[in-house]
Amino acid sequence: MNTQTVTPDVLVSNEGTVFVFCPLTPRAKQWIDENVSTEQWQWFGHALVVEQRYAWGLGQGMKDAGLQLAYGNSPIATEPKGERDTWEYAIDRACAAQAEVAAKQGLRKRSREEVEQFVLTVLMLAEGSKRNGHEN
């Protein structure tokens, strides 16, 4: 059986009253910049935080544009298993996206370790939310 791994463009997690959309690719960040009206306070690092009532529409718009979304309970939500597969590639893309955003906004470029820690934190929050009865 030939399986193909799809690397997501956006990591989405349900945090209860808000959803976090973390663009992992420059394409995803560009789509948000061009299609979503945001305020500076809606950004947590390089992740967009939106109220639940807007999450479905935002996610659907991203999917309609051809972006791949991953959720807190998807395979990318697991810790690395020592292989350079989906996890490593997703972190590479997240680093590139963060560097691009930092350059555009005059912010500090984050180290790979900082970006990976941020992604792990978002995933842990999503897992905790899932355990507390908030499904994605």
For 47, the token pair is: 């992740």
SS3 81: coil
Buried b (16+ CB within 10 A) or exposed e, 10-39: bbbbbbeebbbbbbbbbbbbebbeeeeeee
Q: Is 109 helix (H, G, I), strand (E, B) or coil?
A: coil
Place of tokens 């945090």: 15
Q: Per-residue pLDDT for the chain (136 aa), expressed as one digit of tens each?
A: 444 556 788 988 887 778 889 998 899 999 999 999 988 888 888 889 998 888 888 988 999 999 988 876 443 333 444 445 566 767 777 777 777 777 877 878 888 888 777 777 766 665 555 555 554 4
Nearest in space to 102 (alpha carbons), one of 14, 23, 21, 35:
23
Q: What is the pTM of this model?
A: 0.54
pLDDT at position 96, please?
A: 77
Identify the pLDDT of residue 113.
Answer: 81
- Between the CA atoms of 50, 56, 59 and 65, what dihedral angle is there, to the nearest 10 degrees? -130
What does the CA dihedral 43, 45, 47, 49 come to, rounded to 10 degrees?
-40
